[in-house]
Amino acid sequence: MSDLLNKLRGPELVAEFQGICGLSLISEDKSVPRHFPEADRQAQPVSTPRSHAAWRGEHVTTETNGTVSGTPVPRKKYKIENYFLYYLFMFAATLGQEVFYITFLPFCYWNIDPYVARRVINIWAIVMYIGQASKDVLKWPRPPSPPVVKLEVRVDAEYGMPSTHAMAATAIPFSFLLATMNRYEYPCELGLLLAVTICALVSLSRIYTGMHTVLDVLCGVAITALLVAVSYPFWDAIEAFQMRNCFAPLLTLSLSFLLSIYYPELDHWSTARGDTTNIVSAGAGAAVATWINHQWDLVPEPFSAPPYEIPPLSTGLICRMGARFTIGIVIVFFARQAIKSAALALVCRLAGVSPGDQEARKLLRVEVPYKYITYSCLGVVGLAVCPAVHRYLSL
């Protein structure tokens, strides 16, 4: 068993899969300094700073944040022999990124069913927080290059176990399936096939891009499957609390903010804490919007009992869906720009740093509050303001 786990965790299996898919290293380029621990399976985690030191800003120096200074990570050239698989997996990898979340989840709410979208968003936020936090608790490095080809740079400083792409690709389609299979009349086998296909494509894309080992991906899928199965009986109770309890908005915002502030301590700065704050705060904002919509009856539920027939696609329906999506995305985009600028300026002013200082934005007392304000407000804008605009425009 130990040998099997070591093999699944090793980079050789990743490189072998890449080779089968027509992706391989061909030569080395010069080394450049990168600020994260060496990508080696035997690397030991370095000393962890205390959270109050990070809050004061002491983590910006190498000596206090535990970062391995100036570790040279060689840039590698690679060749692509199968461009179909290359573009397929690169596209699949985007299904676990912000651009997908900020478009697909609102699309579901505006154009498919708020009932379904609320459940998907709740599970997505919970699963992603557990996955992201687990990375910084376990501190398992990503596969090294060589022998692996690495096609992504932004998240390379994050740890690898478990794969949060695989977790999102399991949570979203399968929670969507569970929320719709007894609510709408459609072949559940077809929905299951689609969910499995999405999960498999995104999971394999993380191995293809060299960002995760096979064990990272398998654990991500398994953990999410367990979380979805355990939480499923409580979905209705969670939503009822979010809708009807007068303290629900305060409790949701308070808990999610504390989870962001007390995110596991980082031994070097990475995008993990900020990305997790984005997700958790968006989920909190969506929960607040759920309460607002129910209290003022802004998003009425169907009068008849399920199951419902899926309406046939007509030109008029497609145009209305396109109009709702376009108007909603435009509102979300401009709201994001305005709220982010205002929140960053306010938080930086309170923290006594310059908004233009990129290093200052990495401080715990700056990064978490401004991202939390931005995305919790966006959750309210996307799920409460946009539907109100759609209704005003008779869409």
Flag the least confident range among 24-33, 124-133, 206-215, 355-364.
24-33
Per-residue pLDDT, averaged over 133-148, amounts to 88
Most confident of 133-147, 270-284, 373-387: 373-387
What is the pLDDT, as a whole number, of residue 308?
A: 87
What is the rounded CA–CA span in Å between residue 332 and residue 335? Answer: 5
Q: Does residue 25 have a pLDDT over 90? A: no
- The predicted pLDDT at position 82 comes to 92
Please report the pLDDT score of residue 47 as a whole number: 36
- Top pLDDT among 39 and 136 is at 136
Res 257: pLDDT: 95
Catalytic residue (one of 165, 268, 294, 390): 165
Instruction: Please tell me the total count of domains within the chain.
Output: 1
Confidence of residue 28 (pLDDT cuts 50, 70, 90): low
Q: Which stretches does DSSP call E strand in the chain? A: 23-34, 71-80, 184-185, 308-309
Residue 297 backbone phi and psi in degrees, to 5? 55, 45
Q: Check whether 30 has a pLDDT greater than 50.
A: no
Q: What is the residue range of 270's domain?
A: 2-392
Please write the tens of the pLDDT for every residue from 329-338.
999 999 999 9
Which of 94, 57, 106 is CA-nearest to residue 375? 106
Q: What is the pLDDT of residue 46?
A: 37
Chain segment 216-272, per-residue pLDDT in tens: 999 999 999 999 999 999 999 999 999 999 999 999 999 999 999 998 887 777 788
pLDDT at 101: 87
The reported pLDDT for the residue numbered 158 is: 79
**Cα–Cα dist 152/142, whole Å:** 12
H/E stretch holding 377 reads helix 364-380
CA distance 59 to 47: 12
Direct distance between the N- and C-terminal alpha carbons of the chain, in angstroms, rounded to an integer: 57
Sign of CA pseudo-dihedral 365, 371, 372, 374: positive
Q: Which residues of 95-125 are buried (b: 16+ CB within 10 A; e: fewer)?
A: bbeeeebbeebbbbbbbbbbbbbbbbbbbbb
pLDDT of residue 76: 66
- The DSSP letter of residue 260 is H
Q: Comparing C-alpha atoms, which of 134, 100, 93 is closest to residue 223?
A: 134
CB atoms under 10 Å from CB of 319, counted, come to 11
Average pLDDT estimate for 174-197: 93
Is residue 212 among the annotated active site residues?
A: yes
Alpha helices in 245-314 (DSSP H): 248-261, 272-295
| pLDDT at position 265 | 82
Place of tokens 């309460």: 291
Q: Check pLDDT > 90 for residue 157.
A: no
Rounded (10°) CA dihedral 94, 96, 97, 103: 90
Q: Please indicate whether residue 52 is annotated as part of the active site.
A: no
* Each residue's pLDDT tens digit, 70-125: 344 445 688 889 999 999 999 999 887 878 888 899 999 999 999 999 999 999 99
What 3-state DSSP class applies to 213?
coil
Q: With pLDDT > 90 as the criterion, what percentage of the chain qualifies?
A: 57
**Residue pLDDT, tens place only, 7-21:** 888 889 999 999 999
Check residue 331 and give its pLDDT: 95
- pLDDT value for 232: 95
Predicted pLDDT at 33: 43
Q: Which of 35, 52, 212, 268 is catalytic?
A: 212
Q: What is the pLDDT of residue 359?
A: 84
Indicate the pLDDT class of residue 60, thresholds 50, 70 and 90. Answer: very low
Tokens of 334: 């401009």
The Cα 101–Cα 107 span in angstroms is 10
List the single range of 30-34, 172-176, 267-271, 276-280 with lowest mean pLDDT: 30-34
User: From its phi and psi, is residue 138 left (phi > 0), alpha (psi between -120 and 50) or beta?
Assistant: alpha
